[in-house]
Structure 1
């Protein structure tokens, strides 16, 4: 297997990033920015961010296989790679059955998508898969650099590492609410989780982790929120994020659940406790 992608230990994860924000995030010592959502295949927002930074990596979390044609995604990958060698990681995934009308036989569809990326010479070690369940986690280790799970516990990270083996890249994204107010953190966390409490792939994954009944019924139990959403002082947050590293993660994207204006200042507050700089 090829070497794991090197995105540093911690990254920012969000719905978008401006070139100026990316430059500030890089200066704080973070190795990468993950951009969430289902971006169009052209990925034309990538180069302006990479142009404003010197070594920061950019990753998609994720390109949706139902809405972005693999041929076009491959062309975008090679365009970005030519301009900024080694600085872009392609994250792809199947999305959610409730959100994609064409969602059928997702494992078959994902394999077919990867076949096209292979045909167009997108390197295995420069792509990762959104993965929660055992089958896709194992597929991610076979046909990509590894996995990018979302809304998981350190226990899931440990199970994923066992399933994927030591050589696969594992990058669980972790939501963080920057407050020490427990009730406020739970309220913000519940609002963020509301959508996911209606998505079967997340519900099934939480069931595998032992959450049942009221835990995964809207609005979600305190136990679920406290297990998935990190909050507290910067030192407490850093300690909880590092639990994923201890469980086998290589890299932890931090999903700050806060106002856009507060993202970079909060990342600055966390940089010291995380050992960055």
Structure 2
């Protein structure tokens, strides 16, 4: 099945004002709606609304951090949404970042690979309705059992950027979720997980023909994200270390303006989709052509009506 996703909620649109658009997404050709969780809405609430507004959509979290909820609460939140959207919910989990985990949520960002692996294993058992008593490497659980285990249990996908986590996603999860990559990069990621594992990616899309405006926004986002150590390491692995070295140097020196200025146009154009809606659709499709299973459009603000832009970016 060809998948085509959108990130909800849209920037600048009140949550309850999404109903009319979400109801129309399946008819427009969208198959999926995925949420995020940083400092806006939580990951589950927008999807709970969407589960009632558009029963045809598959819904996914991309992603829920494994540190910011206790294991039992994370299982309960996932089970609730899985009950509201039986067979249509995908739980995406991941380590997130030190800023979100430590600075904003007062949790320790320690052993991210092990914590993600342990949370995945706990959730597998808990969402299957098992009574869980286990000593994991990064936490322990005693006698936890969901009172409302979902039927069926939702698939679990992992946020993964480099070979270790990508291989864990292929081996123990139901797929991998990534972002901040180019269409060509998909081939490198796909090689780590094999041909049969679902690969989803959030793709940043700025539908405007004002190239300089799109690149300006793209540079701000790139310098904010790719200076985070896990993303810096990801792009070193992808082969962009040299191209991004001046950005990292300026960022470490505290010169944010310079950090944006020295990001090459080619890097911005690789990582941020921009152009007319038709050009944007073609580039999103190029991710799929290179091995992406599920493209998830993240619409960047341009000053135009975001609802009309979602309509224009629908698959043809």
Q: Fold conserved (TM > 0.5)?
A: yes
Q: CA deviation at 1:112?
A: 1.1
The CA RMSD over aligned residues, in Å, is: 2.2
Q: CA deviation at 1:229?
A: 0.3
Q: 1:45/1:10 Cα in 2 relative to 1: closer, same or farther (>3 Å)?
A: closer
Alignment match of 2:264 (pick from 208, 215, 221): 221
The residue that corresponds to 1:147 in the other structure is 176
Q: CA deviation at 1:255?
A: 0.9
Q: Which runs of 4+ in 1 moved over 4 A?
A: 14-17, 38-41, 122-125
Equivalent pair of 2:8/2:35 in contact (CA under 8 Å): yes
Question: 5 Å matches for 1:1-277?
Answer: 8-15=2-9, 18-38=18-38, 43-101=44-102, 102-121=108-127, 126-213=155-242, 215=244, 217=247, 218-219=259-260, 220-258=263-301, 262-271=305-314, 274-275=315-316
Equivalent pair of 1:62/1:130 in contact (CA under 8 Å): yes
Equivalent pair of 1:244/1:252 in contact (CA under 8 Å): yes
Structure 1: distance between partners of 2:293 and 2:216: 30
Provide structure 1 residue ranges, at least 5 long, that are not aligned to the other structure. 1-5
Q: Is 78-87 or 170-179 further displaced after alignment?
A: 78-87
Q: CA deviation at 1:170?
A: 0.4
Structure 1: distance between partners of 2:177 and 2:23: 23
Aligned residue for 2:33, secondary structure, equals strand
Q: 1:130/1:214 Cα in 2 relative to 1: closer, same or farther (>3 Å)?
A: same
Which of 1 and 2 has greater Rg? 2
Structure 1: distance between partners of 2:42 and 2:213: 35
Q: 1:261/1:127 Cα in 2 relative to 1: closer, same or farther (>3 Å)?
A: farther
Q: Is 81-90 or 95-104 further displaced after alignment?
A: 95-104
Equivalent pair of 2:277/2:313 in contact (CA under 8 Å): yes
Q: CA deviation at 1:31?
A: 0.6
Cα shift readout 1:71-95 (whole Å, capped 9, x = no counterpart) = 2222222222223211211110001
The residue that corresponds to 2:133 in the other structure is none
- TM-score, normalising length from structure 1? 0.87
Equivalent pair of 1:40/1:67 in contact (CA under 8 Å): no
Q: 1:100/1:130 Cα in 2 relative to 1: closer, same or farther (>3 Å)?
A: same
Structure 1: distance between partners of 2:241 and 2:185: 16
Q: Is 71-80 or 101-110 further displaced after alignment?
A: 71-80
Cα shift readout 1:160-181 (whole Å, capped 9, x = no counterpart) = 2111111110011110111112
Cα shift readout 1:25-75 (whole Å, capped 9, x = no counterpart) = 23311011111114658x344322211112012111111111022222222
Q: Is 128-137 or 17-26 further displaced after alignment?
A: 17-26
Provide structure 2 residue ranges, at least 5 long, that are not aligned to the other structure. 103-107, 129-151, 248-258
The residue that corresponds to 1:3 in the other structure is none
